[in-house]
Structure 1
Amino acid sequence: MRIVMDEASIKVPNGGALLNAKAPQVSGVRVQLEMQALWQQFNQLGTEMIVTKSGRRMFPTFQVRISGMDPSAEYVLLMDFIPLDDKRYRYAFHSSSWLVAGRADVAAPSRMHFHPDSPAPGAQWMKQTVSFDTLKLTNNLLDDNGHMILNSMHRYQPRFHVVYVDPAPNSHLNAYKNFCSFSFPETHFMAVTAYQNHRITHLKIASNPFAKGFRTTDLQAW
């Protein structure tokens, strides 16, 4: 199966509208972001995500609820990350704000993260929350573990893609019909090697169950 994800580069036969050209298996797909209130809390402060050489999981975790799939059709789910702009940033502690520090670094190698349960029938995807909890972010340009490679101090937008696995012969010729993409503005973030905004640090500790050991009350009890 050949997957074409860049809608901007797709040429639709006969000049037809791309949105009207989608296969019925994806044209009705709807996606809802889970933990939206928490994402909005982070977004109001300016979300930061740690990138490390060995790879670090995202928090909040990217999770969605999906509806409108063909229950018996097979789908592949995947994610990628695109730069929000062509700038590099630095954090100004005196004003608690991000400032443009110059032009963006050379773009990191573009990768897709396939959900490990892919491919699976629509019925399976729709019956429960879909979580990308195995996805890791790295700043190692030579990473060979399949992690998502990002440049530190750059802003990124996660994108979520649903791809219908078309069993028809030569399905790759209609690849542009067989996928749909979703992005949620509240999930964009700054990639960092260490948290810059102390309010982000506090919110991560307060809301991440795996950060329990860092909470002040737990430290005092210990």
Structure 2
Amino acid sequence: MFPTIRVSFNGLEADTKYMVLMDIVPVDSKRYRYAYHRSSWLVAGKADPPLPTRFYVHPDCPFTGEQLHKQTVSFEKLKLTNNMLDKNGHIILNSMHKYQPRVHIVRKKDLSSTSVTNLEAEEFRTFIFPETVFIAVTAYQNQLITKLKIDSNPFAKGFRDSTRLTEYER
């Protein structure tokens, strides 16, 4: 996912184990389209049926409270897909739909299982940052955003070959 979401925590118990995870949920029941002539997003109808919500468990879990006080947790390895048959654990989204990432911190009492399938069965807190709402796309709708991603996203290195850039992008 680009840009990457990074979070810091405080106020945790130093010796307690925690899981940090993210899910991404629909914001509304609408489908969107980009209007080039207006440079804006417009509602284009009803949303496709919602997809199953998947949790992305941070790969460095479990953390101690002490570790979480000292570091920023980055979700740079989280991958998104629009493939409804995905078997790789990626977060599945419908293109042209609006989404809200949510970060969850789960206090683990029982470390025999580090998986989380049902948040309601755990002691947890959820954090929502309204500024992270986004519309999922399979292709960027604006050339400047495409250039920003190519220049900034470490996973877009293959697109940085200067012989492939247009005059506009150089």
TM-score, normalization by structure 2: 0.82
Deviations, residues 42-85 of structure 1 (Å, cap 9, x unaligned): xxxxxxxxxxxxxxxx1111111111111100101100001111
Of 125, 140, 152, the match for 2:83: 140
Match status 1:150 vs 2:93: yes
Correspondence 1:180 to 2:145: no
Cα drift, residue 206 of structure 1: 3.8
For 1:98-148, what per-residue CA distance to the aligned partner results, in whole angstroms no more than 9, with x for missing partners?
Answer: 111100001111111101122221112221111112210011111111000
Matches within 5 A, 1:1-222: 58-167=1-110, 178-211=123-156, 214=160
Residue identity in the other structure for 2:145: I
Gaps of 5+ in 2: 111-119
Query: Would the aligned equivalents of 2:106 and 2:122 in 1 still touch at CA under 8 Å?
Result: no
Secondary structure, counterpart of 2:28 in structure 1: coil
Deviations 1:163-206 (A, max 9, x none): 00124xxxxxxx57721110111111110110012232232234
CA drift of 1:218 comes to 10
Letter of the structure 1 residue corresponding to residue 105 of structure 2: V
Give yes or no for contact 1:63–1:132 (8 Å, CA) kept in 2: yes
- Stretches of structure 1 that go unaligned for 5 or more consecutive residues are 1-57, 168-174
Does the Cα contact within 8 Å between 1:109 and 1:141 map onto a contact in 2?
no
- Counterpart Cα distance in 2 of 1:123 and 1:176: 24
SS of structure 1 residue aligned to 2:149: helix
Partner of 2:113: none
* Residue correspondences, number: 157
Deviation at 1:217, TM superposition (A): 10
Query: What amino acid is the match of 2:64?
Result: P
Instruction: Among all aligned residue pairs of Structure 1 and Structure 2, give the percentage whose two residues are the same amino acid.
Output: 59
The structure with the greater share of residues assigned to strand is 2
SS at match of 2:125: strand
Q: C-alpha root-mean-square deviation of aligned residues, in Å? A: 2.4
Q: What SS does structure 2 have at the residue aligned with 1:101?
A: strand
- TM-superposed CA distance for 1:96, in Å, is 1.1
Q: Which has the higher helix share?
A: 1
